[in-house]
Amino acid sequence: MWFKNLSVYRLPVNFPLDLVKLEDSLARNALQPCGNQDKESQGWVSPRGDDRLLHVLNQQVLIALGVEQKLLPGSIVTQFAKDRAAEIEEQQGYKLGRKQLRELKEQITEELLPRAFVRRRVTWAWIDPVNGWLVIDAATPLKAEELLERLNKTVDDLPARILHTELSPAAAMTEWLLAGEAPAGFSIDRDLELCAADDGKATVRYVRHALEGEEIQQHIAAGKTATKLGLTWNDRISFVLGDQLQIKRLTFLDTLKENADQGDNADEQFDIDFTLMTGEAAKLLADVVEALGGEKAKAV
């Protein structure tokens, strides 16, 4: 179990998470298959593919949101509607109006939905009540917000909030580039995105490219700031830090994974991976926050 992206939300440190109540709430909101006329269904699924909706190890909690979606492209509905409209027009001798075409599309959609293929996707979230983290493995804000919204509907009064730091990631990353080095424990890698602040939003991207030299400095002098920067933490985890505190393309390096291949079976290996992932990611998050000047005090 290795997350690839970290969308990070804050919980109180040593948050008193009631696991029995949480599991009961998840069970009452478990994923139900799409009905004949449903376009989408959301609900909680087992992170391990068994009958448990919580996976708990060393006070770390793993949950998973399942989403089923009917695959019914608009182009298919439009084609069926055109064919049906042509038949009706031939019978009636006149063309259908806009309202009639809209109603026909709605009718075609209702007819096709029961026969549409269903796609299921799963988004995982890790809850660390000890250190106060709620972390969603989502590559886009939309996917993270989808899970958080469903969790808020499932659990009453969940005190999760967006993480804010004293230094903005964009300002801090730009300063690191100017200085030619990152804070202690971090090293700058070879991926970078610089973006201008004006309306034009001129953007320069470097992929697997050396980031030393005058060219980067000139872009910054011209008013561009870093919006994405590749970093490595303690030679153990590489990632790309974004200007909205997104942590993407998370890669646990060989020096760490060498300690992971110890399980005698799939269940043991999953627990070893989960333990290593949560332990290292919690330390990484703490160091990222420190590198960004610490956590901003919550406004009263």
Residues 279, 203 within the same domain: yes
Q: Please give the pLDDT value at position 260.
A: 62
Residue that terminates a domain, selected from 132, 162, 192:
162
Return left, alpha or beta for 93; rule: phi > 0 is left, psi -120 to 50 is alpha, else beta: left
Residues 202, 142 within the same domain: no
Whether residue 241 lies inside any domain: the answer is: yes
Residues 126, 207 within the same domain: no
Whole-model pTM?
0.86
Residues 206, 241 within the same domain: yes
Low-confidence ranges of the chain (pLDDT < 50): 300
Domain count, the chain: 3
Tens-digit pLDDT profile for residues 30-40? 999 888 888 88
Whether residue 276 lies inside any domain: the answer is: yes
Residues 25, 150 within the same domain: yes
Residues 122, 254 within the same domain: no
Residues 92, 227 within the same domain: no
- Residue 92 gets which letter from DSSP? H
Whether residue 89 lies inside any domain: the answer is: yes
Q: Please give the pLDDT value at position 300.
A: 46
Whether residue 298 lies inside any domain: the answer is: no
Whether residue 2 lies inside any domain: the answer is: no
Q: Please give the pLDDT value at position 78.
A: 82
Residues 181, 239 within the same domain: yes
Whether residue 296 lies inside any domain: the answer is: no
Residues 12, 157 within the same domain: yes
Residues 28, 152 within the same domain: yes
Q: State the chain's maximal CA–CA distance in angstroms.
A: 78
Residues 200, 236 within the same domain: yes
What residues make up the domain containing 207? Answer: 169-291
Q: Please give the pLDDT value at position 4.
A: 96
Whether residue 272 lies inside any domain: the answer is: yes
47 φ/ψ angles, rounded to the nearest 5 degrees: -65, -20
Residue that terminates a domain, selected from 51, 85, 114:
114
C-alpha span between 139 and 142 (Å, rounded): 9
Decide: residue 231, CB within 10 A, 0-12 exposed, 13-18 middle, 19+ buried: buried
Whether residue 300 lies inside any domain: the answer is: no
Residues 175, 150 within the same domain: no
Strands (E), 6-143: 7-10, 40-45, 55-57, 60-71, 117-128, 133-136
